[in-house]
Amino acid sequence: MFIFFASFLMYLLLVWSGGTIAPVEFAVAFLLATILALAARTWVPSYRFSFLKILNPLRWISFLYYVFVPFGIALFKANIDVAIRVITGNIRPGIVKLTPDLKSDLSRMILADSITLTPGTLTVDVDDEGAFYVHWIYVRDENPSEEEIYGSFASWARRLAD
Amino acid sequence: MSITLFSWTVGIYAVLIVLVFGRLISGPTIPDRAVALDTMNSLVVAIMIVLAAVYDSVVMEDIAIVYAGLSFVSTMFIARYIEGGM
Amino acid sequence: MGIVEGLFVLLFLLVGIFFNSLGVVSLYRFPDVYTRMHGATKCSTFGSLFTGLAVIVYTLFRYLSAGESRFLVLAIHTFVAMAVLLVTNATGAHAIARAAHRSRIDPKFAVVDRLAEKEGRRRRAA
């Protein structure tokens, strides 16, 4: 259901060219969205979104807040950090393990992408139990705490999508 | 004025893409080459976005979106191949 | 209007060019594929985001001064392209890193490698 509405609105957003949208575009959008939703259901049958959860506007607002404020700041810091490391060549790499304990796939994806784009860290693998293996460009501690790697991102991912 | 700036940016990015070719050819392992290809793809998307503003055409922007998606798919396939799943 | 727009566009384009160049430099400067990935993924994503931001500023200024909705459409499409780029680059880098580690490419100069430890235990148990 979520996939249907998302692709429907996306299609309309992409065909909108200033004026009104022709009625035939609605028909095409409906057709394509139906095909996509059915295909997604066939490929990944366990993939279910709770309809009420997704339509909750508070969730969307907090998602936008997350993308622009904590994530944006971390992205900025990450790039300054990597820029300094590229110029000075000061690295001490290693792969560390973290167990943030997230249940749903979507929240794991949000956290993995956030880790990849934040200071000095890159997700290498996520196993079935939800343990994250993170490549860290400057290992300060071989058994790091969660705050050291990604700050408050795990609680954000849990609030957004778990 | 902005159009001139955009044109110069496109030129610089083209030079950067040529520089990435060195790693693409000489990378000691396949993942190195895949990373170089990924970098090239994101530079190409950036060039497409800028050229869309220069030529003032929305179609180019759509092509950039589709190109980003397809480059993601190709990266996924290369990763699959490196893993030995294919 | 022209000066402000030009300054913003120049600033964003310079930041974008700087970070994209750093991404390319990091491909040559770092010793192994994981560290290269740090530089290449983060810097080129960030650089391309700022390039897109420059285009958005330009188109929004054009929209405000000329009032043609064509420019608004251009801005929306640029925004979508940036969002797609942000998600796909991070996920693609993750896929390559995982594949590299599964094909037994060890991180050079690594002080600790928990993933290899775990897989080593699994191999011995099997």
pLDDT in tens, A85-125: 888 877 788 888 877 777 777 777 778 878 877 777 888 88
- Read off the pLDDT band of A12 (50, 70, 90): confident
Using CA atoms, how far apart are residues B65 and A10, in angstroms rounded to an integer?
12
Higher-confidence residue: A154 or B4?
B4
Enclosing H/E stretch for A132: strand A132-136
* C-contacting residues in B 4-43 (Cβ below 8 Å): 5-6, 9, 12-13, 16, 19-20, 22-23, 29-32, 34-36, 38-39, 42-43
Q: At residue A19, what is the residue type?
A: G
* A-contacting residues in B 11-70 (Cβ below 8 Å): 58, 62, 65
Higher-confidence residue: B45 or C111?
B45
Question: What does pTM read for this prediction?
Answer: 0.86
- Read off the pLDDT band of C124 (50, 70, 90): very low
Query: For residue A59, what pLDDT is reported?
Result: 75
ipTM tops the 0.85 cut: yes
Closest Cα of chain B to C75: distance in Å?
9
Using CA atoms, how far apart are residues C75 and C93, in angstroms rounded to an integer?
27
Find the length of chain A: 162
Using CA atoms, how far apart are residues A150 and A107, in angstroms rounded to an integer?
14
A105-113's contacts with Cβ under 8 Å and 24+ in sequence apart are: A105/A47, A106/A161, A107/A157, A107/A158, A107/A160, A107/A161, A107/A162, A108/A157, A109/C91, A110/A156, A110/A157, A110/A160, A110/A161, A111/A150, A111/A153, A111/A154, A111/A157, A112/C90, A112/C91, A112/C94, A113/C87, A113/C90, A113/C91, A113/C94
Does A49 have pLDDT greater than 90? no
Query: For residue C126, what pLDDT is reported?
Result: 32
Judge: B61–C81 Cβ closer than 8 Å, yes or no.
Answer: yes
> Nearest to residue C102, comparing CAs of A125, B35, A122?
A125
Does A14 reach chain B within 8 Å, measured CB to CB? yes
- Read off the pLDDT band of B12 (50, 70, 90): very high
Query: For residue A52, what pLDDT is reported?
Result: 53
Q: Looking at A118-132, A141-155, B13-27, B63-77, which range is the least confident one?
A: A141-155
Does A37 have pLDDT greater than 60? yes
Higher-confidence residue: A118 or A7?
A7
Does C1 have pLDDT greater than 70? no
Interval C89-118: pLDDT, tens: 888 888 888 888 888 777 777 677 776 777
Using CA atoms, how far apart are residues A25 and A4, in angstroms rounded to an integer?
15
Closest Cα of chain C to A51: distance in Å?
23
Closest Cα of chain B to C99: distance in Å?
5
